[in-house]
Structure 1
């Protein structure tokens, strides 16, 4: 398992033990020395790069011993190859459950998991408020130039810091939300409190009847939303349907002086198209703020990192203490329900 941060990790381990499971803890991302020592004193541990497909597969095989379940909190590469190796008949235990203490699972091969009998459980909505809060913060930063002005002052340039004043604000903006899930709804509630008008383009399930209870106006098409809003914020999962949803054509539809915020998935908004649009005053949004990238982690790389018109954030939208604690509680409940509903034996032999 990849434990939660801080004391949440110890609470998770205790709860897993109560469920009759025997956790092996990957301490690679446990940076607190004292916490790591406490975990290593009481639990079996390993230390490997969970984002490496080969290392992940090798540790799940565990020299032929295998694992019944995996609990993670990040987008590990649970590919077809990894799943096949983790469910091989030669293993003493085969993988039957993967739980991620987060809402998304786009790095998991769901088709392969279903074929191989591996259940996937996540915690949708657990971080909705956290993501919504950072989304609004990024909107304000893009509109008001907060980080740009702070950097200019640090460089000793008052004249640069006061450029492009006065600015727009949420109070006089129409905010368009792409997506109609829990995060989008919470964003709608927050920006309405600032005085913004809200438009929403949702999935086919977001019918006119469902939209009645929403704090926003339902629009029929993405094009209508892009062309009609001052701020556009993306809140859809990474799927085949949303891959490249916002590209060059869609960016060109956006209003002059508009802002785009992406705290969803990088695959939804093409990085290169956004970079080019921001650099062209005649095309697309005026400013952007992005929390998710094609290449993340220690090898982070993005054309947007050097774009002066884009605020960048290290995929941190859902990382508040309360959100991660809630996700931990929910994924433990999912494990408990799974154990009650299946024939997976409880007892000290489980790993």
Structure 2
């Protein structure tokens, strides 16, 4: 149980409604700009706060946590992913970690389908032609892409978002396949009309589109490595709205340049905002700046979950979205 108002430090600008409510509830330190904090600034914030509210852009490792001191008791992450936080080190130091699961599911699934359409229907090429004033009128053979209906979609990671992607893809007439650490319950699998592949290699070799919806963990780092990417058909498309580290980005870039994979739609990248420049040059690639959860509704709901986690902790209870060892 905490006495008095908790000292809460927020590392990035949040929606105004969320910042206003935080200011009403806590002794909150907000950002006047929206730039990432340096390691030194993050450590200083941890030393001076009861609660830190970081985002995916804040990498909090063991050495930083070792300098946090005794005051910090909760890291209330603004976002569902927590691979940027050394949760084990935090737990060893008595620091709880919470996240905001569920609220970005539908928004991210929407963006996944948008990327599938953008790549297969060559939307960026058409937009570029229009914006440059090069369009000479309709032609029966120009801008030919392919329809989604009838294609085999292989979903890598069938959690909340993967299942939401499957529901949308079914509406487009796609065939749903998936690889997951655990097979879905029979009733869930039947409801999605989804086929489970125990072997990821075998699934990849047969899919027309592969959607990455798995979190970044030690076991999923470069899960789509050069060897597995080479199993895919040359007509296949890769879409990633999850974590960039799941794909070997250099290998993917080489294969896209060589025509060994038909296209890619990427909202996340292996090295954050530092994108392979050769990837940006490719006409068969659609790149987005991590927009999967970028809706007003979703970002406010994320903030509301952060507030509930902090308020529940302040009242002496376990935060409802506590990250536990079984999730790592």
Q: Say if 1:24 and 1:251 are closer, same or farther in 2 by CA, change over 3 A.
A: same
Deviations 1:223-265 (A, max 9, x none): 1221111111000111000001001111111122111001111
Shift of the alpha carbon at 1:312? Answer: 0.5
Shift of the alpha carbon at 1:280? Answer: 1.5
Shift of the alpha carbon at 1:325? Answer: 1.2
**Pick from 302, 308, 314: which aligns with 2:283?**
308
**Pick from 69, 73, 82: which aligns with 1:96?**
73
Aligned ranges 1:109-148 → 2 under 5 Å = 109-148=86-125
Aligned to 2:301: 326
CA contact (8 A) 1:125 1:182 kept: yes
Shift of the alpha carbon at 1:165? Answer: 4.5
User: In structure 1, what is the Cα distance between the partners aligned to 2:135 and 2:198?
Assistant: 45
Q: Say if 1:244 and 1:287 are closer, same or farther in 2 by CA, change over 3 A.
A: same
Q: Which runs of 4+ in 1 moved over 4 A?
A: 159-165, 207-210, 299-302
Gaps of 5+ in 2: 1-9, 319-328
SS of residue paired to 1:172: coil
* 2:82 equivalent to 1:74: no
Aligned to 2:65: 83
User: In structure 2, what is the Cα distance between the partners aligned to 1:96 and 1:189?
Assistant: 39
Segment drifting more, 251-260 vs 205-214 = 205-214
User: In structure 2, what is the Cα distance between the partners aligned to 1:131 and 1:239?
Assistant: 19
Q: Say if 1:160 and 1:223 are closer, same or farther in 2 by CA, change over 3 A.
A: farther
User: In structure 1, what is the Cα distance between the partners aligned to 2:266 and 2:166?
Assistant: 18
Q: Say if 1:257 and 1:180 are closer, same or farther in 2 by CA, change over 3 A.
A: same
Shift of the alpha carbon at 1:122? Answer: 0.3
Aligned to 1:237: 215
User: In structure 2, what is the Cα distance between the partners aligned to 1:184 and 1:75?
Assistant: 23
CA contact (8 A) 2:250 2:276 kept: no
CA contact (8 A) 2:36 2:57 kept: no
Shift of the alpha carbon at 1:301? Answer: 5.2
Structure-1-length-normalised TM-score: 0.81
User: In structure 2, what is the Cα distance between the partners aligned to 1:315 and 1:160?
Assistant: 34
Aligned to 2:83: 106
User: In structure 2, what is the Cα distance between the partners aligned to 1:194 and 1:295?
Assistant: 32
Shift of the alpha carbon at 1:81? Answer: 1.7
Aligned to 1:9: 19
User: In structure 2, what is the Cα distance between the partners aligned to 1:83 and 1:151?
Assistant: 46
Aligned ranges 1:216-255 → 2 under 5 Å = 216-255=194-233
User: In structure 1, what is the Cα distance between the partners aligned to 2:253 and 2:128?
Assistant: 20
Aligned to 1:293: 269
Shift of the alpha carbon at 1:270? Answer: 0.9
CA contact (8 A) 2:107 2:293 kept: yes
Aligned to 1:22: 27
User: In structure 1, what is the Cα distance between the partners aligned to 2:40 and 2:147?
Assistant: 48
User: In structure 2, what is the Cα distance between the partners aligned to 1:78 and 1:25?
Assistant: 19
SS of residue paired to 1:170: coil
Shift of the alpha carbon at 1:134? Answer: 0.7
User: In structure 1, what is the Cα distance between the partners aligned to 2:206 and 2:291?
Assistant: 29
User: In structure 2, what is the Cα distance between the partners aligned to 1:300 and 1:279?
Assistant: 15
Deviations 1:43-94 (A, max 9, x none): xxxxx742x2222113333xxxx211111333311111221111x25xxxx1
Shift of the alpha carbon at 1:139? Answer: 0.4
User: In structure 2, what is the Cα distance between the partners aligned to 1:302 and 1:266?
Assistant: 15
Aligned to 1:56: 42
Gaps of 5+ in 1: 30-47, 344-351
SS of residue paired to 2:210: strand
CA contact (8 A) 2:212 2:241 kept: yes
User: In structure 1, what is the Cα distance between the partners aligned to 2:137 and 2:230?
Assistant: 28
